[in-house]
Structure 1
Amino acid sequence: MRTELVIVASAERSPRIISSGGLSGRLTGPDTVHMIGTAATPLGGDEMRIRVEVGKGASLAVHSVAATLALPSAATTESHSWWSFHVEDGGRLLFDPEPMIVAADARHHSRTDVRFSDSGAIHIRERIQIGRAGERAGSWYGTVFSDVDCGEGRVRPHLRHRVELGVGTSGHDVISAPMAMSSTIRFPDDRTAEAGRSWVRMPLAAGGSLSTATGSRIDTLALPT
């Protein structure tokens, strides 16, 4: 299945939602959209493409009504998702869906592209859990490319980030490897670096921060403020 979802926010009207495939969106507030699954996806072989655009001076909050479950199909264990975020001058975006759970022996690949104005604000959180109760065979591969639009055609690299979780990934071991992660990109954020036992908040050279927490279960992660 190929799923496409486009959410466009404007300061002059309610967000516009265009969808096809296994994911849709519902307007649940003046500037709030909840993503809703309309079919079982992603299964092995599925592709999901989600684009979120926030226009000049607009505000948008995007959530989901339930966790996303990645499962293998009879033909393949691999599925893919592409996430694209674009925030224009003075725009504000909060993206905070429920976690993705990579179940059975599924292998999910995620790519996130972010481009935002240096006069805008973003808060983008991603949460991943490998396996349902008693499962430890899945894997997740996530890559993030984030850039700051400084105007007049000038773009400043903001973040290049890759994380792998689960069986078969680099650095995995069966004894102590993390099976859950929460990762948040914020801009602006001028706080200094801080770390706990299983989390870290890192300032980024181009402004803002990246916070990451890892552990065995998503519901037990100690998260930075």
Structure 2
Amino acid sequence: MRSDVLVVAIPGRLPRIECRGALAARQTEPDTVHLVSAAATPLGGDTIAIRLIVEPGARLRLRSAAATVALPGAGTTQSWACWHIEAAGELDVDPEPTIVAATARHFSELRVHLAESGRLRIRERVQIGRTDEREGFWSGALHADVAGAPLLRHRVELGQGAVADDALGTPLACVSELRYPEPAADAAGITLALAAGGSLSTWQGARL
């Protein structure tokens, strides 16, 4: 199944929201939208496509009502989440964690296009497995540009078959946070300043 969500933040107006498939979006405050599952997703074979547009002078906070649980499907274990972000205003994305359960293999890609006037915070939290599970796999890629110039190219893998997969100490949880233009002062893990402004903070461990 394919699920599509479009949220457009416009200054002085309520966000425009369009949804199709197993994922819905609901406005919960004037500048806040929550993602809500209308059916179980992502299962193996599912694709979630989320597009966020924040116009100049607008502000958008994106949250989710509950954690996302990726599960294997009958025909394939692989599922995908694809984010396309265009921000000329202020955007804060902080959904609940993604849990990669059982033998699921979940692939996430975020592509961010910021205007020079854009302000951004994106936090992504991932956990491999529910209680006593460690067979899942997650790959997350983040590609961010500011005014057409590269800001960040970043990829993390977790779980079985990941680059860091080691019987002695495989990390099964991750928190990544991108901020622009000011660097983070209160994010989890290690914060690295970016050459073009802002920062990337990362943390890895056994459990969130």
Alignment check: 8 A CA contact 2:56 2:117 kept: no
* Alpha-carbon distance, 1:190 to partner: 4.5
Structure 2 length as normaliser, TM-score?
0.97
Q: Which residue among 127, 130, 136 is the counterpart of 2:128?
A: 130
Distance 1:95 1:217, change over 3 A: same
Amino acid at match of 2:140: G
Deviation >2 Å, runs of 4+: none
Q: Which residue among 107, 119, 130 is the counterpart of 1:121?
A: 119
2:93 corresponds to which residue?
Answer: 95
1:175 corresponds to which residue?
Answer: 168
* Alpha-carbon distance, 1:199 to partner: 2.1
Q: Which residue among 144, 147, 150 is the counterpart of 1:157?
A: 150
1:214 corresponds to which residue?
Answer: 204
Amino acid at match of 1:121: R
Amino acid at match of 2:74: A
Q: Distance in 2 between matches of 1:50 and 1:174?
A: 35
Distance 1:139 1:118, change over 3 A: same
* Alpha-carbon distance, 1:189 to partner: 1.6
Deviation per residue, 1:88-138 (Å, 9 max, x gap): 1xx100000000000000000111000111222100010000000010000
- Superposed, 1:1-225 pairs within 5 Å as 1-88=1-88, 91-149=89-147, 155-190=148-183, 199-218=189-208
Amino acid at match of 1:163: V
Q: Distance in 1 between matches of 2:64 and 2:165?
A: 29
Distance 1:143 1:29, change over 3 A: same
| SS of corresponding position for 1:13 | coil
Amino acid at match of 1:28: T
* Alpha-carbon distance, 1:191 to partner: 6.4
Distance 1:123 1:129, change over 3 A: same
* Alpha-carbon distance, 1:175 to partner: 2.2
Structure 1 length as normaliser, TM-score?
0.89
Q: Which runs of 5+ in 2 are unaligned?
A: none
